C-alpha cells in the first residue's frame, strides 16, 4: 500500500523532490523536538529504491537547504539533470540545472 502511494506521488514529482520533502519533514520535526544531535536524513538521489541514510545536524541541513537547487546525496548516487558542486567522503551536494517542483 505505501509503495503504491509513493509510486503515484513520484509520477507527479521527481523522485529526488519526494525524498527532499521527507527530509524537510524530518528537519521540521527535529526542530519541534529540539534535537541537539545529528539526525538521519534520506539520500535525495533519483533512485526510488535507494535506502541510503546520511547523518547531519539540523544546522547543517538548514545550511544545505539555504541553496534551493541543491540536493543531498551519498557520493556516487545520481540526481537527474544536476552537477555535483561539493563532495566529501560522506555526502555529495548535487545542484539542479532546473527549478524543482514544490508540492504540498
Q: Which pLDDT score is estimated for 6?
A: 56
% of the chain residues with pLDDT over 90: 67
Diameter of the chain measured on Cα atoms: 37
- Count of CA atoms in the C-beta half-sphere (13 A) of 67: 15
Query: Which stretch of DSSP H or E encloses residue 30?
Result: helix 15-32
pLDDT digits (tens, 9 = 90+) for 57-72: 999 999 999 999 999 9
Indicate the pLDDT class of residue 78, thresholds 50, 70 and 90: confident
Indicate the pLDDT class of residue 3, thresholds 50, 70 and 90: low
Is 7 a residue whose pLDDT tops 90?
no
- Strands (DSSP E) contained in the chain are 39-42, 53-56, 70-73, 82-87, 92-96
Amino acid at each position: 500500500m505505501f509503495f503504491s502511494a509513493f509510486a503515484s506521488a513520484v509520477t507527479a514529482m521527481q523522485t529526488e523532490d519526494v525524498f527532499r520533502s521527507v527530509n524537510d519533514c524530518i528537519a521540521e520535526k527535529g526542530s519541534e523536538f529540539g534535537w541537539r544531535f545529528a539526525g538521519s536524513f534520506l539520500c535525495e538521489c533519483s533512485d526510488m529504491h535507494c535506502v541510503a541514510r546520511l547523518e547531519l545536524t539540523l544546522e547543517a541541513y538548514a545550511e544545505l537547504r539555504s541553496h534551493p537547487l541543491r540536493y543531498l546525496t551519498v557520493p556516487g548516487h545520481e540526481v537527474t539533470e544536476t552537477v555535483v558542486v561539493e563532495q566529501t567522503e560522506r555526502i555529495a551536494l548535487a545542484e539542479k540545472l532546473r527549478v524543482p517542483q514544490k508540492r504540498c
